[in-house]
Amino acid sequence: MAAYEDQVLALLPDHHGELLARAIGPGTDGTPNETQFIRLPDEVALDAYLGDPRRRGLAAERERVVERTVVFPVRFAGSAG
């Protein structure tokens, strides 16, 4: 899975995006194996990234290694400290 993610995440800069963090979990009991925080300027950029022909060209590999993808907006809160 990491090889697939490495390939598709490398496309982010082409859509003015950046990878903020990549967290690896156990991937057991329904928990994600990997969670990514990415920044893109807007929904148009997100749609372009998700629809990138190079990314879509890896669809067979994605189907093989990724169980599900959930995309939702978040806001980082300041740290208390």
Count other C-beta atoms under 10 Å from residue 30's C-beta.
7
pLDDT, position 43:
95
pLDDT, position 51:
97
Q: What is the pTM of this model?
A: 0.84
15 exposure class (CB count in 10 Å sphere: 0-12, 13-18, 19+): buried
Instruction: Give the three-state DSSP class for 74.
Output: coil
Domains (ranges, CATH) in the chain?
2-65 (3.30.70.100)
Per-residue pLDDT tens over the stretch 15-71: 999 999 999 988 888 888 899 999 999 999 999 999 999 999 999 999 999 988 889
pLDDT, position 2:
86
